[in-house]
Amino acid sequence: MNETCQNAEKFLSELVADLGFNLKVSAAWTDEGCIMDLHGEDTHFALAENGELLDSFETLLFQVYGRQLDRDHRFVVDAEGYRQTRKKELQAMARFAGDQVRKNGTPFTFGVLNSTERRVIHTALQAENDLTSESIGDGRERRLQVRLK
Beta-bridge partners for 54: none
Domain with CATH 3.30.1370.50 in the chain: 85-148
Superfamily of domain 85-148: R3H-like domain (3.30.1370.50)
pLDDT band at 121 (very low <50, low <70, confident <90, very high): very high
Which of 59-92 are b and which e, b meaning 16 or more Cβ less than 10 Å from the residue's Cβ? ebbeebbeeebeeebbbbbbbeebbeebbeebee
In the prediction, which pLDDT does 59 show?
Answer: 92
Rounded to whole angstroms, the Cα distance separating 144 from 135 reads 4
Average pLDDT, the chain: 92
Q: Decide: 53 and 14 in contact? Cβ < 8 Å.
A: no
Domain with CATH 3.30.300.20 in the chain: 3-80
For 17, how many CA atoms within 13 A lie in the half-sphere containing its CB?
8
Q: Decide: 36 and 8 in contact? Cβ < 8 Å.
A: yes
pLDDT band at 115 (very low <50, low <70, confident <90, very high): confident
In the prediction, which pLDDT does 140 show?
Answer: 78
Rounded to whole angstroms, the Cα distance separating 55 from 144 reads 18
In the prediction, which pLDDT does 88 show?
Answer: 94
Mean pLDDT of the 84-101 span: 94
Instruction: Give pTM, 2 decimals.
Output: 0.78
On the question of pLDDT at 139 being above 90, the answer is no
On the question of pLDDT at 3 being above 80, the answer is yes
In the prediction, which pLDDT does 138 show?
Answer: 87
Residues recorded for the chain: 149
What topology does CATH give the domain 3-80?
GMP Synthetase; Chain A, domain 3 (3.30.300)
